Amino acid sequence: MELVPGNTLITATPQEGRELALAMARKSVGAIQPDAEMRQAFRPGYAGSADSLTMAAQVVAIEFATIAAANGYWR
């Protein structure tokens, strides 16, 4: 199963880095839970509670921290 789309942490822009962070979080969940309904966390349209969304946003923030460091913060 592909866990890191493109198999690299390097992206051209912060926007692409953020998209990668979202994708990687989603792939983690997919690696653990193959059932599509459960897997909707992190997917566009996921209708979790506000707290569920905050928790998901936190994972994205943590993934992004790694990606940003990998890219020298796109400075």
Residues in contact with its own copies by CB under 8 A are 2-4, 7-10, 13-15, 17-19, 22, 24-25, 27-29, 31-35, 38-66, 68-70, 73-75
CB of 16 to its own copies, least distance (A): 9
For the chain, state the CA radius of gyration. Answer: 13
- Rounded to whole angstroms, how far apart are CA atoms 71 and 26? 21
CB of 56 to its own copies, least distance (A): 5
Q: Please report where in the chains the tokens 């992206």 appear, as a residue.
A: 11
Q: Please report where in the chains the tokens 């990687």 appear, as a residue.
A: 24
CB of 20 to its own copies, least distance (A): 10
